[in-house]
């Protein structure tokens, strides 16, 4: 399984070669096996991508979309990159998700019809300790509302099933261990008082990234007065995880409930892909 943290240093060059494929191939053929010169070419391509990101061409991934939906997608990627930079991760570019099979026009139509939806690039395979480190890095930022001592806590039964909860959903396009889906981002789920069978559900990494993206934007965390079911069951299918924000402790928590539980504050955030 490919994990989100497996590569980072070469991802910018990969994108450059993706955007300037023909030019890169011609230069490679011309330079042959001269690795020193080839490295200079990679650096030049890398700089070209940086310039594209800074200018109007950086919006190319969203050309043809309505301005408001393009802005929402761009804002989500900006927030996700801010989180990733604190964690030593690199978010794949939008174009890479489109090439992997993510349906740009479908996502844009969904954004138009539901203003609660948020595009969430989410990494998989980080593990519990790495996620806690990411939350602690965000907690260190000036003005953060997160507790530095316990910004993220997992119940023991969740830790025991973490590998499965940290796995990318089936039949969802992925790029180097990252997926891109739309997740309802209102403070509380729209559908409340339902048990686990009313799915599908957002994944653990998606909800954690949604929280972190809100926090780096300076927005309020979600689930301050609610709980959100997370995709995946454990203990022979009897239990599932749920996500929440503890205002008194100023931290995000993930614990477990029996799948038949349907308390009035427990709900579902159905992702769109």
| Amino acid 36: pLDDT | 54
> Residue 196 has which token pair?
């686990």
pLDDT (tens digit, 9 = 90+) per residue, 117-127?
A: 999 999 999 99
Residues of the chain with pLDDT under 50: 8-9, 52-58
| Amino acid 47: pLDDT | 59
**pTM, to two decimals:** 0.82
Q: Is beta strand 251-258 parallel, antiparallel or unpaired with respect to 152-154?
A: parallel
d(CA 63, CA 104): 10
d(CA 212, CA 80): 8
Residue 76: how many CB atoms within 10 A of its CB?
26
Q: Is beta strand 227-234 parallel, antiparallel or unpaired with respect to 174-175?
A: unpaired
| DSSP-assigned states of every residue in 208-245 | HHHHHHHHHHTPPPS-SS-EEEEEEEETTTTEEEEEEE
| Amino acid 12: pLDDT | 52
| Amino acid 57: pLDDT | 43
pLDDT (tens digit, 9 = 90+) per residue, 48-96?
A: 555 544 444 445 677 778 889 999 999 999 999 999 999 999 999 999 9
| Amino acid 62: pLDDT | 79
Distances (CA, A) of 75 to 82, 221, 267: 11, 17, 26
């Amino acid at each position: 399984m490919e994990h989100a943290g497996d590569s980072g240093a070469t991802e910018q060059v990969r994108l450059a070669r993706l955007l300037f494929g023909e030019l890169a191939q011609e230069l490679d053929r011309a330079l042959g096996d001269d690795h020193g010169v080839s490295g200079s070419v990679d650096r030049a391509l890398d700089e070209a991508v940086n310039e594209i990101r800074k200018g109007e061409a950086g919006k190319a991934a969203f050309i043809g979309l309505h301005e408001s939906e393009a802005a929402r997608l761009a804002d989500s990627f900006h927030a996700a990159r801010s989180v990733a930079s604190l964690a030593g991760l690199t978010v794949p570019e939008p174009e890479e998700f489109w090439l992997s099979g993510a349906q740009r026009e479908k996502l844009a139509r969904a954004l138009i019809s539901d203003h609660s939806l948020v595009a969430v690039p989410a990494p998989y395979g980080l593990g519990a300790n790495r996620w806690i480190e990411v939350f602690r890095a965000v907690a260190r930022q000036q003005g953060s509302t997160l507790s530095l001592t316990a910004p993220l806590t997992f119940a023991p039964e969740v830790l025991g099933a973490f590998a499965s909860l940290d796995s990318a959903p089936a039949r969802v396009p992925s790029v180097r261990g990252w997926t891109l889906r739309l997740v309802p981002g209102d403070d509380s789920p729209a559908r409340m008082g339902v048990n686990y069978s009313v799915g599908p559900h957002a994944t653990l990494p998606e909800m954690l990234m949604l929280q972190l993206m809100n926090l780096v934007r300076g927005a309020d965390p979600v689930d301050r007065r609610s709980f959100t079911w997370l995709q995946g069951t454990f203990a022979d299918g009897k239990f599932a995880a749920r996500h929440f924000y503890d205002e008194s402790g100023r931290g995000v928590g993930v614990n477990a409930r029996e799948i038949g539980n349907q308390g009035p504050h427990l709900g579902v955030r159905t992702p769109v892909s």
